[in-house]
Structure 1
């Protein structure tokens, strides 16, 4: 995600404006939509949380973008979340 932000790449249809690395990594898009990847507190796997002040469609787009990154990065560990 750092490289995407640095290179000004579009993620989930928007420019990444912030990365917060407290308790995982939160990717914040230009329109305020965000996706958080963090370790589960009770299972050995990852959890994805997404929110959007814009629409449920933007929330789904963020989930799909984060999901795509995780699914093509097997080194991140167990991951089986769906929207």
Structure 2
């Protein structure tokens, strides 16, 4: 949450898109200026992290948002273990 809030406050971008809004209810949802968004939150019934990515551009862009933004950011935290599935 803090990383995305700091990125937004600094005027940062995600894959060349501005951050329109950071919503911190039930995890962190980062809305981008083109309508795409990423959500990282705790699972409500398992000891896992749930990641949801939506792109207004294409399926390839949705995959890029996960691969090039969310996955490296989570990988910087060793307490996040192996994925049980990926897109």
| SS in structure 2 at match of 1:73 | coil
So what's the TM-score if we normalise by structure 1?
A: 0.85
Corresponding residue of 2:53: 50
SS of 1:4's equivalent? Answer: helix
Q: 2:78 aligns with which of 40, 52, 74?
A: 74
When the two chains are superposed, the root-mean-square deviation of aligned CA atoms in Å is: 1.6
Instruction: Give the drift of 1:42.
Output: 2.2
Question: What count of residue pairs does the alignment treat as equivalent?
Answer: 82
Q: What TM-score do you get using the length of structure 2 for normalisation? A: 0.81
Tell me how far apart the structure 2 counterparts of residues 74 and 24 of structure 1 sit (CA, whole Å).
Answer: 18
Poorly superposed stretches of 4+, deviation over 2 Å: none
User: Aligned partners of 2:82 and 2:8: how far apart in 1?
Assistant: 24
Structure 1: unaligned runs, 5 residues or longer: none
In the alignment, structure 2 segments of 5+ residues that lack a partner are none
Q: CA deviation at 1:79?
A: 5.0
In 2, Cα distance between equivalents of 1:45 and 1:33: 23
**Aligned residues of 1:35 and 1:49 also touching (Cα < 8 A):** yes
Instruction: State the SS of the aligned residue for 2:35.
Output: coil
Secondary structure of residue in 2 paired with 1:74: coil
